[in-house]
Structure 1
């Protein structure tokens, strides 16, 4: 976490510089020197406020997660609460927004996932994000499916989001957000259709 007192204008500047450098050279080569040069600040500022590269990566991921959460809530706020299927589509859409699907954010996500497997603090951030996604999906699916199916379908949608996102992030052409949303939409439609058949 950045120390209190850091000028608020510096945080997004450093976060953006971190993502830009990770996109360009990868996480391991993304040194404090390169990041500070990209941001136009001294290395001392990064070390003082973030304690080094690890702290800066953590703050960068927090910024990405905040933006993601805000996008989810913004999209959901525009859809009536009884339109559960549309709200699920909005949750999916937020995961493939222009920002989240951009190359520099995608590569930062990949670096974060890799780091989080061996770092308790970053792992906690990843778990919070995962639980938030499943919670949003579960709330909407409860109105559409019987209790015993809700968790399975929520996990299925989450797995498709992660899988399609990961495959796209590792593809030179990048993430195909439109295709990802269509595939996940097809899965949801299939699950709802199967439930409708069993209740006839």
Structure 2
């Protein structure tokens, strides 16, 4: 039986270690023995908290997705403009370009036990996890259901930002839901292009492309 008060710490260590192992070998080859070694605990401790490999993958996926919302919410200020809020979403939601040889050296952390400032996923690992989990979601109904709920929440959040923009006069958008969906689609599309390292030579900055589309949508 684990010590009283250790559960949140142990769970976060195991989740982080699971994500590290997925970065190293992928979801299919990741094993509970491998996670136990990474987390410096017994396989029994992992089974006690997460029951099975499939459940551990599911909880790690939820933690990976929650990471983005936690980072975004921590940076949004009360008096920010709609565009300032969207820029915070863009900064945190889009994976960065990366140097694959260097980025894997840094450990990741998706737990806010020690504060949001300690949370970090190096760009190369973020790309690896993005592809690994989204590929798995294509054949895993439980992961797909989690993703549906997350995107539903994302669309609701973006819709609220657009609605706020309409109220303060920054936007004049009549179909809020359609615009929110289009913005989510932009995030996903650019994210996929970034994780495979594709950017046409004639485009200096794909973030400029992102904002030119948004500006045209909102008449800026």
TM-score (norm 1): 0.79
**Which residue is 1:191 aligned to?**
217
Asked whether 1:31 is paired with 2:9, we answer no
Give 1:145's aligned residue. 172
Match of 1:154 in 2: 180
State the partner residue of 1:71: 71
CA-atom RMSD in angstroms: 2.7
Relative distance call for 1:137 and 1:100 in structure 2 (3 A) is farther
Q: Which of 150, 154, 172 pairs up with 1:133? A: 154
1:181 is the counterpart of 2:207? yes
What is the SS of the residue equivalent to 2:79? Answer: coil
Structure-1 separation of matches of 2:26 and 2:130:
11
Q: How many residues align?
A: 184
1:100 and 1:134 mapped to 2: Cα distance?
23
The Cα of 1:5 is off from its aligned counterpart by 7.7
**Kept in 2: contact 1:91–1:136 (CA 8 A):** no
Q: Please state how far the C-alpha of 1:97 moved relative to its aligned partner.
A: 6.9
Deviation for aligned residue 1:159: 1.0
Structure 1: gaps spanning 5 or more residues: none
Provide closer, same or farther for how the CA distance between residues 128 and 41 of structure 1 changes in structure 2, counting only shifts above 3 A: same
Aligned to 2:91: 93
Alignment of 1:103-118 (within 5 A): 103-118=124-139
- How far apart, CA to CA, are the structure 2 residues paired with 1:140 and 1:71? 17
Q: Give the superposition deviation at 1:30.
A: 1.0
Q: How far off is 1:100 after superposition?
A: 5.5
* Separation of aligned partners in 2, 1:133 and 1:181: 19
Structure 1 or 2: larger helix share? 1
The TM-score normalised by the length of structure 2 is 0.72
Q: CA deviation at 1:180?
A: 4.6
Q: CA 1:70–1:190 in structure 2 vs 1: closer, same or farther (change >3 Å)? A: same
With over 3 angstroms needed to count, the CA separation of the structure-2 counterparts of 1:6 and 1:53, relative to structure 1, is: farther
State the Cα distance separating 1:188 from its structure 2 match. 0.7
Q: Deviations over 1:143-173 (max 9, x none)?
A: 113323x233222211111111122223399
Q: Deviations over 1:18-63 (max 9, x none)?
A: 1111111111111112111111111222222212211111121222
Contact 2:93/2:187 (8 A) holds in 1: yes
